[in-house]
Amino acid sequence: MNKTTSNLRTALAPLVLALLLAGCATSAVVDPASLPAAPAAFKENAAAVTSTPVAPQVQGLWWKVFADPVLDGLIEKANGNNSSVQVAAGRLAQARAIAGQTDANRFPQLGVGAGATRQKNSTTNNVAQTVVSAGANLSYEVDLFGRLSGASNAASLDAASREALLRSTQLLVQADVAQTYLSLRAMDSERTLVRDTLQAYRNTLRLTEVRFREGDVAELDVARVRSEAASTESEALALDQRRAVLEHALAVLVGEVASNFEVAPAAWATALPVIPAGVPSTVLTRRPDISAAQSTMQAAQARVGVAKAAWFPTFSLTANGGYAAPDIKDLFKLSTQAWGVGALLSLPVFDGGRREAGVQGANADLSIALANYREQVLVAFRDVEDQLSALRLLADQSEAQSRSVASSSRATLLSDSRYRNGFVSQLELLDAQRSELRNRRQALQVKTAQYLATVGLIRALGGGWSV
């Protein structure tokens, strides 16, 4: 009895040692100090406030704040038809399928089978015999050290990362559609402005030609106005070409053929939302790209534990049962029944360093994922600060440009009146008109930049600014 007990203890010693060391097969711990600390508020936000962190959220219908039905329709089309969104959705489906396959390893595996063999050997007195069999096999790996649960958890985190990347792709596409559409509307306004100026030049040209025929001005004046009109007409055609390119880009974003797609020119009536001051920096926790990077890092942590668990034995339970007979008509008789149960403990002793390399590789993957997560957070703060500073400076620039437009418009009005009364030369009028056109186009560019920066800020904040 003592000898039997001693032998049993000797046999179970590796298993007991493995159980004692099972705590080593845990996920790696990430030092919070290695991650960027989030400030209470953004530097560019003058009236900053603090807030508690919020959970990652799916971005809402943020484009509705621009109150533009055409933009609403374009983004709805892009949500359903954009190729990048569809690819991201497909990758999410793949990740979820892999997670399901990985999780299935944690459950018992049951299989049934049947077969027939023709055999001849010494046990059958060298007489050929046929054996027909049918039965079922059941196997189950006991997850003593968390290897299977760790792999399942890592696969689930991969799927969560893909889901966040899908939301990130949707947000990126929505922002691209909004910015392209707003650029298109800005182009419509600039085309109208240039064509109005072209018409003014043509009116001036007709007046100058009349005065030339009457001998009041020299031919040089006519040539100057004609050159200015032709140059402005060329600029108008260049704007038409640029608008066509924007329209074609918008077609691709919404998933339509450029040849069949059109956005009719219209007045720029899109509202410009004002993002309130005091947006807390913690709203960045809902950015889907940050959520994706975080899930990827957590999956890498889990895989470190899976790699460590390879050092410990695997313990499986098996069972089988069925029938075997030399004739198919006797197959299901009680006398042909057969069954068996078993337990298998397996522990690799020498593998040429494979398991150690696996742990090293998993740690390297974790280091990469940690660095990517850290960089993603830093980039997110940079994006927000960039757009906030842009909006602050553009507001001042817009105010200064408005004063410049008002002054140049007044100068053009006075120059036109003086030219018609013969007090100034035609060259002075052209200079005034060129200055007004330049200032008005610059004002449009500033306005466009404000809209684009607003969209960029909403995207940088993860699709909104409310907590």
Q: Give the confidence band of 85 by pLDDT, cuts at 50, 70, 90.
A: very high
**8-state DSSP, 461:** T
Torsion sign across C-alpha atoms 287, 288, 291, 296: negative
Pairing of strands 314-325, 337-346: antiparallel
Crossing angle of helices 83-104/69-81, nearest 10°? 40
CA distance readout (Å), 398 to 71, 126, 410, 445, 448: 24, 102, 18, 9, 10
d(CA 410, CA 404): 10
pLDDT above 80 for 41? no
**Looking at 41-45, 55-59, 396-400, which range is the least confident one?**
55-59
CATH of the structural domain 109-142+314-346, one choice from 3.10.129.10, 3.50.50.60, 3.40.50.150, 2.20.200.10: 2.20.200.10
- Residue 244, token pair as written in the block: 């066509």
Contact, 319 vs 137, CB < 8 A?
Answer: yes
Phi, psi dihedrals of residue 276, rounded to the nearest 5°: -65, 155
For residue 48, the model assigns a pLDDT of 36
Q: What is the pLDDT averaged over residues 124-135?
A: 74
d(CA 452, CA 128): 85
User: Which residues face 41 on adjacent strands?
Assistant: 280
DSSP characters over 58-86? ----GGGGG--HHHHHHHHHHHHH-HHHH
Confidence of residue 466 (pLDDT cuts 50, 70, 90): low
Q: Write down the pLDDT at residue 61.
A: 87
CA distance 326 to 361: 53
- Give yes or no for residue 11 having a pLDDT over 50: no
Segment 7-19 mean pLDDT: 44
Name the amino acid, one letter, at 382.
R
Dump pLDDT digits (tens) for 170-190: 999 999 999 999 999 999 999
Task: Give span(s): CATH 1.20.1600.10, the chain.
Answer: 20-106+144-183+270-312+355-460
Q: Where in the chain is the domain with CATH 2.20.200.10?
A: 109-142+314-346
Q: Does domain 20-106+144-183+270-312+355-460 have CATH number 1.20.1600.10?
A: yes
Measured CA to CA, the distance from residue 19 to residue 351 in angstroms comes to 21
What is d(CA 340, CA 420) in angstroms, rounded to the nearest whole number?
Answer: 112
